[in-house]
A and B are shown apart, each in its own frame.
Chain A
Protein backbone atom coordinates (compact mmCIF):
# COMPACT_ATOMS: atom_id res chain seq x y z
CA UNK A 1 0.00 0.00 0.00
CA UNK A 2 2.80 2.38 1.00
CA UNK A 3 4.83 1.46 -2.08
CA UNK A 4 1.76 2.00 -4.17
CA UNK A 5 1.25 5.47 -2.77
CA UNK A 6 4.92 6.30 -3.36
CA UNK A 7 4.66 5.12 -6.95
CA UNK A 8 1.62 7.32 -7.49
CA UNK A 9 3.49 10.26 -6.00
CA UNK A 10 6.33 9.70 -8.45
CA UNK A 11 3.86 9.52 -11.30
CA UNK A 12 2.32 12.81 -10.23
CA UNK A 13 5.77 14.38 -9.98
CA UNK A 14 6.76 13.40 -13.53
CA UNK A 15 3.38 14.27 -14.99
CA UNK A 16 3.42 17.68 -13.30
CA UNK A 17 6.91 18.35 -14.62
CA UNK A 18 5.69 17.48 -18.10
CA UNK A 19 2.60 19.62 -17.64
CA UNK A 20 4.87 22.54 -16.74
CA UNK A 21 6.53 22.43 -20.16
CA UNK A 22 3.08 22.60 -21.67
CA UNK A 23 1.62 25.22 -19.37
CA UNK A 24 4.57 27.63 -19.12
CA UNK A 25 4.40 28.86 -22.74
CA UNK A 26 0.65 29.45 -22.36
CA UNK A 27 1.12 31.14 -18.99
CA UNK A 28 3.88 33.30 -20.43
CA UNK A 29 1.67 34.25 -23.36
CA UNK A 30 -1.10 35.26 -20.96
CA UNK A 31 1.00 37.23 -18.50
CA UNK A 32 3.03 38.94 -21.24
CA UNK A 33 -0.21 40.08 -22.85
CA UNK A 34 -0.93 42.00 -19.62
CA UNK A 35 2.45 43.60 -19.05
CA UNK A 36 3.44 47.16 -19.65
CA UNK A 37 5.77 47.57 -22.57
CA UNK A 38 8.77 48.29 -20.36
CA UNK A 39 8.14 45.22 -18.27
CA UNK A 40 8.07 42.86 -21.24
CA UNK A 41 11.84 43.21 -21.56
CA UNK A 42 12.64 42.70 -17.91
CA UNK A 43 10.36 39.74 -17.43
CA UNK A 44 12.11 38.10 -14.54
CA UNK A 45 8.89 37.66 -12.60
CA UNK A 46 6.15 35.39 -13.79
CA UNK A 47 3.34 37.60 -12.54
CA UNK A 48 3.23 41.13 -13.96
CA UNK A 49 3.61 43.87 -11.36
CA UNK A 50 0.71 45.77 -12.90
CA UNK A 51 -2.09 44.43 -15.07
CA UNK A 52 -2.67 46.17 -18.38
CA UNK A 53 -5.94 44.86 -19.74
CA UNK A 54 -5.98 47.79 -22.14
CA UNK A 55 -3.33 45.93 -24.18
CA UNK A 56 -6.18 43.93 -25.64
CA UNK A 57 -8.04 47.05 -26.69
CA UNK A 58 -4.83 48.43 -28.20
CA UNK A 59 -4.11 45.26 -30.12
CA UNK A 60 -7.73 45.13 -31.27
CA UNK A 61 -7.43 48.69 -32.60
CA UNK A 62 -4.03 48.41 -34.24
CA UNK A 63 -5.14 45.64 -36.60
CA UNK A 64 -8.62 44.72 -37.89
CA UNK A 65 -8.97 41.82 -35.47
CA UNK A 66 -12.75 42.14 -35.60
CA UNK A 67 -12.62 41.55 -39.34
CA UNK A 68 -10.18 38.64 -38.90
CA UNK A 69 -12.56 37.07 -36.40
CA UNK A 70 -15.49 37.50 -38.74
CA UNK A 71 -13.58 36.03 -41.68
CA UNK A 72 -12.35 33.06 -39.68
CA UNK A 73 -15.82 32.46 -38.25
CA UNK A 74 -17.49 32.58 -41.65
CA UNK A 75 -14.86 30.30 -43.13
CA UNK A 76 -15.08 27.85 -40.22
CA UNK A 77 -18.89 27.77 -40.28
CA UNK A 78 -18.91 27.23 -44.03
CA UNK A 79 -16.36 24.42 -43.85
CA UNK A 80 -18.03 22.72 -40.86
CA UNK A 81 -21.47 22.81 -42.51
CA UNK A 82 -19.99 21.62 -45.78
CA UNK A 83 -18.28 18.68 -44.09
CA UNK A 84 -21.39 17.76 -42.11
CA UNK A 85 -23.63 17.69 -45.19
CA UNK A 86 -21.37 16.62 -48.05
CA UNK A 87 -19.26 14.15 -46.08
CA UNK A 88 -22.32 12.60 -44.45
CA UNK A 89 -24.12 12.07 -47.74
CA UNK A 90 -21.09 10.51 -49.39
CA UNK A 91 -20.29 8.44 -46.30
CA UNK A 92 -23.81 7.01 -46.28
CA UNK A 93 -23.52 6.00 -49.91
CA UNK A 94 -20.24 4.23 -49.17
CA UNK A 95 -21.55 2.60 -45.99
CA UNK A 96 -24.96 1.38 -47.11
CA UNK A 97 -25.79 1.82 -50.78
CA UNK A 98 -24.76 -0.55 -53.53
CA UNK A 99 -23.58 1.00 -56.76
CA UNK A 100 -21.02 0.20 -59.45
CA UNK A 101 -17.35 0.92 -58.69
CA UNK A 102 -18.05 1.50 -54.99
CA UNK A 103 -14.84 -0.14 -53.76
CA UNK A 104 -12.69 1.39 -56.48
CA UNK A 105 -14.00 4.85 -55.68
CA UNK A 106 -13.40 4.42 -51.98
CA UNK A 107 -9.85 3.19 -52.54
CA UNK A 108 -9.26 6.23 -54.73
CA UNK A 109 -10.36 8.47 -51.85
CA UNK A 110 -8.03 6.66 -49.44
CA UNK A 111 -5.18 7.14 -51.91
CA UNK A 112 -5.95 10.87 -52.09
CA UNK A 113 -5.45 11.03 -48.33
CA UNK A 114 -1.79 10.13 -48.84
CA UNK A 115 -1.04 12.97 -51.21
CA UNK A 116 0.69 15.85 -49.39
CA UNK A 117 -1.20 19.10 -49.74
CA UNK A 118 1.88 20.70 -51.32
CA UNK A 119 1.20 18.67 -54.45
CA UNK A 120 -2.31 20.03 -54.93
CA UNK A 121 -1.78 23.51 -53.59
CA UNK A 122 -0.15 25.09 -56.65
CA UNK A 123 -2.71 23.83 -59.21
CA UNK A 124 -5.57 24.48 -56.77
CA UNK A 125 -4.26 28.01 -56.30
CA UNK A 126 -4.11 28.71 -60.04
CA UNK A 127 -7.56 27.15 -60.46
CA UNK A 128 -9.03 29.45 -57.81
CA UNK A 129 -7.16 32.40 -59.30
CA UNK A 130 -8.60 31.49 -62.70
CA UNK A 131 -12.11 31.57 -61.25
CA UNK A 132 -11.38 35.11 -60.05
CA UNK A 133 -11.85 33.97 -56.45
CA UNK A 134 -8.66 35.41 -54.94
CA UNK A 135 -9.59 37.51 -51.92
CA UNK A 136 -13.13 36.14 -51.66
CA UNK A 137 -14.91 33.88 -49.20
CA UNK A 138 -15.45 31.43 -52.05
CA UNK A 139 -11.70 30.77 -52.20
CA UNK A 140 -11.58 30.19 -48.45
CA UNK A 141 -14.60 27.89 -48.29
CA UNK A 142 -15.59 26.18 -51.55
CA UNK A 143 -12.41 24.14 -52.19
CA UNK A 144 -12.69 22.66 -48.70
CA UNK A 145 -16.42 21.94 -48.55
CA UNK A 146 -15.79 18.20 -48.52
CA UNK A 147 -12.91 16.19 -47.10
CA UNK A 148 -11.83 12.58 -47.18
CA UNK A 149 -11.21 12.32 -43.45
CA UNK A 150 -14.83 13.15 -42.65
CA UNK A 151 -16.14 10.66 -45.18
CA UNK A 152 -14.03 7.88 -43.65
CA UNK A 153 -14.97 8.83 -40.08
CA UNK A 154 -18.71 8.91 -40.78
CA UNK A 155 -18.69 5.83 -43.00
CA UNK A 156 -17.10 3.89 -40.15
CA UNK A 157 -19.76 5.15 -37.76
CA UNK A 158 -22.69 4.50 -40.11
CA UNK A 159 -21.44 0.95 -40.69
CA UNK A 160 -21.59 0.31 -36.93
CA UNK A 161 -25.33 1.12 -36.77
CA UNK A 162 -27.39 -2.10 -37.05
CA UNK A 163 -28.84 -2.63 -40.51
CA UNK A 164 -32.07 -3.95 -38.95
CA UNK A 165 -33.09 -0.45 -37.88
CA UNK A 166 -33.06 0.70 -41.47
CA UNK A 167 -34.71 -2.47 -42.72
CA UNK A 168 -37.60 -1.92 -40.34
CA UNK A 169 -38.12 1.60 -41.67
CA UNK A 170 -37.90 0.32 -45.22
CA UNK A 171 -40.68 -2.19 -44.56
CA UNK A 172 -42.79 0.68 -43.27
CA UNK A 173 -42.36 2.28 -46.66
CA UNK A 174 -39.53 4.70 -46.01
CA UNK A 175 -37.34 5.56 -49.00
CA UNK A 176 -33.55 5.24 -49.00
CA UNK A 177 -33.10 8.95 -48.51
CA UNK A 178 -35.83 8.83 -45.86
CA UNK A 179 -34.06 6.17 -43.80
CA UNK A 180 -30.89 8.24 -43.99
CA UNK A 181 -32.47 11.41 -42.70
CA UNK A 182 -34.86 9.82 -40.19
CA UNK A 183 -32.84 6.89 -38.86
CA UNK A 184 -29.13 7.36 -39.53
CA UNK A 185 -28.78 11.09 -38.95
CA UNK A 186 -30.45 11.15 -35.50
CA UNK A 187 -28.45 8.09 -34.43
CA UNK A 188 -25.12 9.55 -35.58
CA UNK A 189 -25.06 12.74 -33.55
CA UNK A 190 -21.91 11.74 -31.60
CA UNK A 191 -20.01 11.18 -34.85
CA UNK A 192 -21.29 14.47 -36.26
CA UNK A 193 -20.15 16.25 -33.11
CA UNK A 194 -16.67 14.74 -33.43
CA UNK A 195 -16.42 15.70 -37.10
CA UNK A 196 -17.72 19.22 -36.43
CA UNK A 197 -15.03 19.78 -33.78
CA UNK A 198 -12.24 18.43 -35.97
CA UNK A 199 -13.41 20.53 -38.89
CA UNK A 200 -13.75 23.66 -36.77
CA UNK A 201 -10.26 23.27 -35.32
CA UNK A 202 -8.85 22.59 -38.79
CA UNK A 203 -10.54 25.68 -40.24
CA UNK A 204 -9.79 28.00 -37.33
CA UNK A 205 -6.11 27.03 -37.21
CA UNK A 206 -5.55 26.75 -40.96
CA UNK A 207 -2.76 28.92 -42.30
CA UNK A 208 -1.12 28.17 -45.66
CA UNK A 209 -4.24 28.17 -47.87
CA UNK A 210 -5.72 31.41 -46.46
CA UNK A 211 -2.23 32.94 -46.68
CA UNK A 212 -2.12 32.17 -50.40
CA UNK A 213 -5.67 33.06 -51.47
CA UNK A 214 -6.11 36.31 -49.53
CA UNK A 215 -4.25 39.52 -50.28
CA UNK A 216 -6.14 42.33 -48.59
CA UNK A 217 -6.32 42.90 -44.86
CA UNK A 218 -10.14 42.78 -45.08
CA UNK A 219 -10.11 39.14 -46.20
CA UNK A 220 -7.42 37.77 -43.89
CA UNK A 221 -8.31 35.06 -41.42
CA UNK A 222 -7.23 35.28 -37.81
CA UNK A 223 -4.10 33.12 -38.23
CA UNK A 224 -2.89 34.99 -41.32
CA UNK A 225 -3.75 38.28 -39.65
CA UNK A 226 -1.84 37.26 -36.54
CA UNK A 227 1.18 36.31 -38.61
CA UNK A 228 1.22 39.69 -40.34
CA UNK A 229 0.58 41.39 -36.99
CA UNK A 230 3.74 39.70 -35.76
CA UNK A 231 5.60 41.17 -38.72
CA UNK A 232 4.48 44.69 -37.85
CA UNK A 233 4.32 44.63 -34.05
CA UNK A 234 7.02 42.03 -33.41
CA UNK A 235 8.73 44.37 -30.98
CA UNK A 236 5.62 45.11 -28.90
CA UNK A 237 5.47 41.78 -27.19
CA UNK A 238 2.55 42.70 -24.97
CA UNK A 239 0.29 43.61 -27.91
CA UNK A 240 1.52 40.64 -29.91
CA UNK A 241 0.69 38.24 -27.08
CA UNK A 242 -2.71 39.88 -26.63
CA UNK A 243 -3.32 39.20 -30.32
CA UNK A 244 -2.05 35.64 -29.97
CA UNK A 245 -4.40 35.10 -27.02
CA UNK A 246 -7.30 36.35 -29.12
CA UNK A 247 -6.44 33.90 -31.89
CA UNK A 248 -6.05 31.00 -29.46
CA UNK A 249 -9.02 31.37 -27.11
CA UNK A 250 -11.77 30.19 -29.50
CA UNK A 251 -10.09 26.88 -30.35
CA UNK A 252 -9.26 26.34 -26.67
CA UNK A 253 -12.86 27.00 -25.69
CA UNK A 254 -14.11 24.51 -28.25
CA UNK A 255 -11.59 21.97 -27.00
CA UNK A 256 -12.52 22.41 -23.35
CA UNK A 257 -16.24 22.18 -24.07
CA UNK A 258 -16.00 19.15 -26.31
CA UNK A 259 -12.90 17.36 -25.09
CA UNK A 260 -14.64 14.00 -24.83
CA UNK A 261 -15.90 13.97 -28.40
CA UNK A 262 -12.46 14.95 -29.67
CA UNK A 263 -10.56 12.28 -27.77
CA UNK A 264 -13.11 9.66 -28.81
CA UNK A 265 -12.63 10.72 -32.42
CA UNK A 266 -8.88 10.20 -32.26
CA UNK A 267 -9.27 6.83 -30.60
CA UNK A 268 -11.78 5.90 -33.30
CA UNK A 269 -9.72 6.80 -36.34
CA UNK A 270 -6.15 7.45 -35.34
CA UNK A 271 -6.23 10.44 -37.62
CA UNK A 272 -5.76 14.13 -37.07
CA UNK A 273 -6.51 17.32 -38.97
Chain B
Protein backbone atom coordinates (compact mmCIF):
# COMPACT_ATOMS: atom_id res chain seq x y z
CA UNK B 1 0.00 0.00 0.00
CA UNK B 2 2.80 2.35 1.06
CA UNK B 3 4.75 1.40 -2.05
CA UNK B 4 1.71 2.14 -4.18
CA UNK B 5 1.25 5.59 -2.65
CA UNK B 6 4.93 6.39 -3.08
CA UNK B 7 4.77 5.31 -6.72
CA UNK B 8 1.72 7.51 -7.28
CA UNK B 9 3.49 10.46 -5.65
CA UNK B 10 6.57 9.91 -7.81
CA UNK B 11 4.38 9.80 -10.89
CA UNK B 12 2.72 13.06 -9.90
CA UNK B 13 6.05 14.76 -9.16
CA UNK B 14 7.32 13.80 -12.61
CA UNK B 15 4.35 15.48 -14.34
CA UNK B 16 4.91 18.89 -15.87
CA UNK B 17 2.73 21.82 -14.81
CA UNK B 18 0.93 21.64 -18.16
CA UNK B 19 0.12 17.97 -17.58
CA UNK B 20 -1.12 18.66 -14.05
CA UNK B 21 -3.48 21.38 -15.28
CA UNK B 22 -4.70 19.16 -18.13
CA UNK B 23 -5.97 16.61 -15.59
CA UNK B 24 -9.72 16.63 -14.80
CA UNK B 25 -10.42 18.47 -11.54
CA UNK B 26 -7.12 20.40 -11.55
CA UNK B 27 -7.35 23.74 -9.72
CA UNK B 28 -7.23 26.15 -12.67
CA UNK B 29 -8.01 29.23 -10.59
CA UNK B 30 -7.29 29.89 -6.92
CA UNK B 31 -8.35 32.96 -4.97
CA UNK B 32 -6.47 32.84 -1.68
CA UNK B 33 -7.38 35.29 1.14
CA UNK B 34 -7.85 38.17 -1.30
CA UNK B 35 -8.69 41.64 0.01
CA UNK B 36 -9.25 44.99 -1.68
CA UNK B 37 -10.33 48.43 -0.49
CA UNK B 38 -10.83 51.76 -2.24
CA UNK B 39 -9.87 54.38 0.36
CA UNK B 40 -12.25 53.75 3.27
CA UNK B 41 -14.56 51.37 1.38
CA UNK B 42 -13.65 47.70 1.76
CA UNK B 43 -14.76 45.78 -1.36
CA UNK B 44 -13.35 42.30 -0.65
CA UNK B 45 -12.28 40.87 2.74
CA UNK B 46 -10.27 37.70 2.95
CA UNK B 47 -12.07 36.00 0.05
CA UNK B 48 -10.91 32.48 -0.90
CA UNK B 49 -12.26 29.99 -3.42
CA UNK B 50 -10.96 27.50 -5.99
CA UNK B 51 -12.26 26.76 -9.48
CA UNK B 52 -11.61 23.24 -10.74
CA UNK B 53 -11.07 22.35 -14.39
CA UNK B 54 -14.37 21.97 -16.26
CA UNK B 55 -16.39 23.11 -13.24
CA UNK B 56 -18.55 26.17 -12.69
CA UNK B 57 -18.33 28.67 -9.86
CA UNK B 58 -21.36 30.91 -9.51
CA UNK B 59 -20.76 34.08 -7.51
CA UNK B 60 -23.96 35.55 -6.13
CA UNK B 61 -24.53 38.72 -4.19
CA UNK B 62 -26.26 42.07 -4.12
CA UNK B 63 -24.97 45.05 -6.10
CA UNK B 64 -21.72 46.35 -4.62
CA UNK B 65 -20.88 43.10 -2.85
CA UNK B 66 -17.60 42.71 -4.77
CA UNK B 67 -18.65 40.18 -7.44
CA UNK B 68 -17.45 42.03 -10.54
CA UNK B 69 -14.36 43.22 -8.67
CA UNK B 70 -13.35 39.57 -8.19
CA UNK B 71 -13.40 39.03 -11.97
CA UNK B 72 -11.35 42.18 -12.56
CA UNK B 73 -8.75 40.95 -10.05
CA UNK B 74 -8.56 37.55 -11.78
CA UNK B 75 -7.93 39.20 -15.17
CA UNK B 76 -5.47 41.71 -13.70
CA UNK B 77 -7.64 44.73 -14.55
CA UNK B 78 -7.48 45.54 -10.82
CA UNK B 79 -4.75 44.67 -8.33
CA UNK B 80 -5.67 43.17 -4.95
CA UNK B 81 -4.32 44.80 -1.78
CA UNK B 82 -3.86 41.45 -0.06
CA UNK B 83 -3.89 37.73 -0.85
CA UNK B 84 -2.72 35.56 -3.70
CA UNK B 85 -4.37 34.73 -7.05
CA UNK B 86 -3.31 31.75 -9.15
CA UNK B 87 -4.45 31.18 -12.75
CA UNK B 88 -3.43 27.92 -14.45
CA UNK B 89 -0.66 27.46 -11.90
CA UNK B 90 0.77 30.95 -12.33
CA UNK B 91 0.70 33.52 -9.55
CA UNK B 92 -0.84 36.60 -11.20
CA UNK B 93 -1.38 39.12 -8.40
CA UNK B 94 2.15 40.51 -8.72
CA UNK B 95 2.51 40.43 -12.50
CA UNK B 96 3.05 43.59 -14.53
CA UNK B 97 0.54 44.58 -17.22
CA UNK B 98 2.89 43.22 -19.88
CA UNK B 99 3.38 39.87 -18.09
CA UNK B 100 -0.38 39.64 -17.55
CA UNK B 101 -0.99 39.59 -21.32
CA UNK B 102 0.25 35.98 -21.50
CA UNK B 103 -2.12 34.92 -18.68
CA UNK B 104 -5.06 36.64 -20.39
CA UNK B 105 -4.51 34.46 -23.47
CA UNK B 106 -6.28 31.71 -21.50
CA UNK B 107 -8.97 33.89 -19.92
CA UNK B 108 -12.10 35.11 -21.64
CA UNK B 109 -14.09 37.86 -19.92
CA UNK B 110 -17.67 38.68 -20.88
CA UNK B 111 -18.48 42.18 -19.65
CA UNK B 112 -21.76 43.27 -18.10
CA UNK B 113 -22.99 45.23 -21.14
CA UNK B 114 -20.93 43.27 -23.67
CA UNK B 115 -18.34 46.08 -24.11
CA UNK B 116 -18.28 45.48 -27.86
CA UNK B 117 -16.11 47.89 -29.86
CA UNK B 118 -18.54 50.44 -31.35
CA UNK B 119 -16.48 51.17 -34.43
CA UNK B 120 -16.00 47.53 -35.47
CA UNK B 121 -18.43 45.11 -37.10
CA UNK B 122 -19.55 41.90 -35.38
CA UNK B 123 -16.96 39.98 -37.43
CA UNK B 124 -14.16 42.37 -36.43
CA UNK B 125 -15.25 42.33 -32.79
CA UNK B 126 -15.32 38.56 -32.56
CA UNK B 127 -12.04 38.09 -34.40
CA UNK B 128 -10.36 41.10 -32.77
CA UNK B 129 -7.72 39.20 -30.81
CA UNK B 130 -6.95 36.84 -33.68
CA UNK B 131 -6.79 39.60 -36.32
CA UNK B 132 -4.76 42.02 -34.19
CA UNK B 133 -2.74 39.95 -31.74
CA UNK B 134 -1.96 36.69 -33.51
CA UNK B 135 -0.15 35.50 -36.63
CA UNK B 136 -3.06 33.30 -37.70
CA UNK B 137 -3.77 33.60 -41.46
CA UNK B 138 -6.77 35.82 -42.23
CA UNK B 139 -8.66 32.95 -43.91
CA UNK B 140 -8.29 30.82 -40.76
CA UNK B 141 -9.44 33.71 -38.55
CA UNK B 142 -12.48 34.24 -40.77
CA UNK B 143 -13.29 30.53 -40.50
CA UNK B 144 -12.95 30.58 -36.69
CA UNK B 145 -15.11 33.73 -36.42
CA UNK B 146 -17.84 32.12 -38.51
CA UNK B 147 -17.58 28.94 -36.43
CA UNK B 148 -18.05 30.69 -33.06
CA UNK B 149 -20.78 32.98 -34.40
CA UNK B 150 -22.55 29.87 -35.65
CA UNK B 151 -22.13 28.33 -32.18
CA UNK B 152 -23.97 31.24 -30.54
CA UNK B 153 -26.48 31.52 -33.40
CA UNK B 154 -25.33 34.93 -34.63
CA UNK B 155 -23.86 34.08 -38.03
CA UNK B 156 -26.58 36.02 -39.86
CA UNK B 157 -25.48 39.22 -38.11
CA UNK B 158 -21.78 38.93 -38.96
CA UNK B 159 -21.52 42.19 -40.92
CA UNK B 160 -23.70 44.32 -38.64
CA UNK B 161 -22.40 47.04 -36.34
CA UNK B 162 -22.96 46.52 -32.57
CA UNK B 163 -25.39 49.46 -32.49
CA UNK B 164 -27.74 47.47 -34.76
CA UNK B 165 -27.99 44.56 -32.29
CA UNK B 166 -30.39 43.98 -29.39
CA UNK B 167 -29.16 43.56 -25.82
CA UNK B 168 -29.29 39.76 -25.98
CA UNK B 169 -27.53 39.67 -29.35
CA UNK B 170 -24.77 41.90 -27.99
CA UNK B 171 -24.21 39.48 -25.06
CA UNK B 172 -24.05 36.52 -27.44
CA UNK B 173 -21.52 38.34 -29.64
CA UNK B 174 -19.55 39.15 -26.47
CA UNK B 175 -19.54 35.44 -25.59
CA UNK B 176 -18.39 34.62 -29.14
CA UNK B 177 -15.60 37.20 -28.87
CA UNK B 178 -14.44 35.74 -25.56
CA UNK B 179 -14.43 32.15 -26.87
CA UNK B 180 -12.92 32.88 -30.31
CA UNK B 181 -9.35 32.39 -29.15
CA UNK B 182 -10.26 29.20 -27.24
CA UNK B 183 -9.53 30.21 -23.64
CA UNK B 184 -9.82 27.46 -21.05
CA UNK B 185 -11.49 29.73 -18.49
CA UNK B 186 -14.47 31.99 -19.17
CA UNK B 187 -15.62 34.68 -16.76
CA UNK B 188 -19.18 35.98 -17.14
CA UNK B 189 -20.00 39.33 -15.53
CA UNK B 190 -23.79 39.62 -15.22
CA UNK B 191 -24.23 38.01 -18.65
CA UNK B 192 -28.04 37.88 -18.36
CA UNK B 193 -28.82 40.98 -16.32
CA UNK B 194 -31.42 43.19 -17.99
CA UNK B 195 -32.40 40.57 -20.57
CA UNK B 196 -35.90 39.21 -21.03
CA UNK B 197 -36.39 35.61 -19.80
CA UNK B 198 -36.31 34.04 -23.28
CA UNK B 199 -33.10 35.82 -24.32
CA UNK B 200 -31.55 35.07 -20.91
CA UNK B 201 -32.33 31.39 -21.49
CA UNK B 202 -30.49 31.51 -24.83
CA UNK B 203 -27.43 33.04 -23.16
CA UNK B 204 -27.60 30.45 -20.35
CA UNK B 205 -27.71 27.66 -22.94
CA UNK B 206 -24.54 29.07 -24.55
CA UNK B 207 -22.81 29.04 -21.15
CA UNK B 208 -23.84 25.40 -20.59
CA UNK B 209 -22.77 24.36 -24.10
CA UNK B 210 -19.34 25.96 -23.69
CA UNK B 211 -18.84 24.23 -20.35
CA UNK B 212 -20.04 20.77 -21.31
CA UNK B 213 -19.09 20.54 -24.98
CA UNK B 214 -15.92 22.63 -25.06
CA UNK B 215 -14.64 21.78 -21.56
CA UNK B 216 -14.41 25.41 -20.51
CA UNK B 217 -14.15 26.20 -16.77
CA UNK B 218 -16.46 29.08 -15.87
CA UNK B 219 -17.02 31.71 -13.22
CA UNK B 220 -20.45 33.27 -13.44
CA UNK B 221 -21.11 36.49 -11.58
CA UNK B 222 -24.80 37.25 -11.28
CA UNK B 223 -27.63 38.25 -8.99
CA UNK B 224 -30.19 36.50 -11.22
CA UNK B 225 -30.91 33.41 -9.12
CA UNK B 226 -33.09 31.74 -11.71
CA UNK B 227 -30.30 31.88 -14.32
CA UNK B 228 -27.74 30.70 -11.78
CA UNK B 229 -29.80 27.63 -10.83
CA UNK B 230 -30.56 26.89 -14.49
CA UNK B 231 -26.87 26.78 -15.39
CA UNK B 232 -26.07 24.70 -12.29
CA UNK B 233 -28.81 22.14 -12.84
CA UNK B 234 -28.62 21.59 -16.61
CA UNK B 235 -26.09 20.08 -18.95
CA UNK B 236 -25.54 19.93 -22.69
CA UNK B 237 -25.29 16.73 -24.69
CA UNK B 238 -24.60 16.15 -28.35
CA UNK B 239 -26.91 13.69 -30.06
CA UNK B 240 -25.59 11.14 -32.62
CA UNK B 241 -27.05 13.33 -35.38
CA UNK B 242 -24.91 16.27 -34.14
CA UNK B 243 -27.78 18.20 -32.58
CA UNK B 244 -27.14 19.73 -29.14
CA UNK B 245 -29.70 19.19 -26.37
CA UNK B 246 -29.90 20.93 -23.01
CA UNK B 247 -31.11 18.41 -20.42
CA UNK B 248 -31.46 18.15 -16.66
CA UNK B 249 -28.01 17.47 -15.15
CA UNK B 250 -27.24 14.35 -13.14
CA UNK B 251 -26.73 14.91 -9.41
CA UNK B 252 -22.99 14.27 -9.90
CA UNK B 253 -22.84 16.92 -12.63
CA UNK B 254 -24.86 19.32 -10.47
CA UNK B 255 -22.22 19.10 -7.76
CA UNK B 256 -19.63 20.44 -10.26
CA UNK B 257 -21.38 23.81 -10.07
CA UNK B 258 -20.61 25.55 -6.79
CA UNK B 259 -22.26 28.67 -5.47
CA UNK B 260 -20.39 31.39 -3.58
CA UNK B 261 -22.43 34.15 -1.97
CA UNK B 262 -20.78 37.45 -1.17
CA UNK B 263 -22.11 39.97 1.32
CA UNK B 264 -20.23 43.25 1.77
CA UNK B 265 -17.03 41.67 0.49
CA UNK B 266 -17.24 38.55 2.66
CA UNK B 267 -18.14 34.99 1.64
CA UNK B 268 -21.29 34.05 3.56
CA UNK B 269 -22.04 30.79 1.74
CA UNK B 270 -20.20 28.23 -0.36
CA UNK B 271 -21.75 25.01 -1.63
CA UNK B 272 -23.76 23.34 -4.40
CA UNK B 273 -27.30 24.14 -5.57
CA UNK B 274 -28.83 21.63 -3.15
CA UNK B 275 -26.99 23.08 -0.14
CA UNK B 276 -28.00 26.58 -1.18
CA UNK B 277 -31.67 25.58 -1.31
CA UNK B 278 -31.44 24.01 2.16
CA UNK B 279 -29.59 26.84 3.90
CA UNK B 280 -31.27 28.50 6.87
CA UNK B 281 -29.15 31.65 6.90
CA UNK B 282 -31.64 34.58 7.06
CA UNK B 283 -29.68 36.79 4.61
CA UNK B 284 -29.44 34.02 2.01
CA UNK B 285 -33.08 33.11 2.62
CA UNK B 286 -34.10 36.71 1.91
CA UNK B 287 -31.92 36.66 -1.22
CA UNK B 288 -33.54 33.43 -2.41
CA UNK B 289 -37.09 34.45 -1.72
A, B from the same assembly: no
Q: A-side interface residues toward B, CB under 8 Å?
A: none
Give the A-binding residues of B (Cβ under 8 A).
none
